[in-house]
A = this chain, B = another copy of it.
Amino acid sequence: MSCTSEYASQLRARGFRMTSQRLAILHALRHAETHLSPREVYIQAKQELPGLTEPTVYRTLEFLAENGLARTSQTGNGHLRYQIAGNDHHHIVCRICGDEMEVDHALLERLYHKLESDSGYMRIDSHMTFFGVCPQCQ
């Protein structure tokens, strides 16, 4: 839709191609305001592109994450979920009831700088999920 050609040229510049599958999956991610599981992405995107298969969804999501168009997040049980890339943020999730809350990146800014200078690692991924116990469940 909107940023379609933006995405396309971004990929082409790196020697990749824009495909109907990638577009359909990007649409699904853009329309969701939350994180989606690969299965949910598949269901959504298949409506736009009926021939779409699940292996392609898995591979595409991984590809989009590697290339900065999507971000991954971890659920408690270790399953990946995906979200369109946008402003930096993090999550804190209740390990009892699953309640989720967004955490602004500003809160981690200082830590990230310290991490970078201490470890020498750079470009640390800014989409973390912390697990704790929410106020209700305490």
Chain A residues packing against B (C-beta within 8 Å): 62, 72, 74, 77-80, 92, 94-95, 101, 103, 107-108, 110-111, 114-116, 118-125, 128, 130-135, 138
Contact = CB atoms under 8 A, between A and B. Distances in A.
A107 B115 contact: yes
Given A78-B79, A120-B134, A125-B132, 11 more contacts: A62-B77, A74-B74, A78-B80, A103-B118, A110-B110, A115-B130, A121-B130, A121-B132, A121-B135, A123-B132, A128-B128
A4 to B, nearest CB: 27
Nearest to A73: B78
A44 B130 CA distance: 30
A128 B125 contact: no
Contact of A118 (B74, B107, B119): B107
A133 B108 contact: no
16 contacts: A72-B78, A74-B78, A92-B119, A92-B121, A95-B125, A103-B115, A107-B111, A110-B110, A115-B132, A119-B132, A123-B132, A124-B132, A125-B130, A125-B131, A128-B128, A128-B130
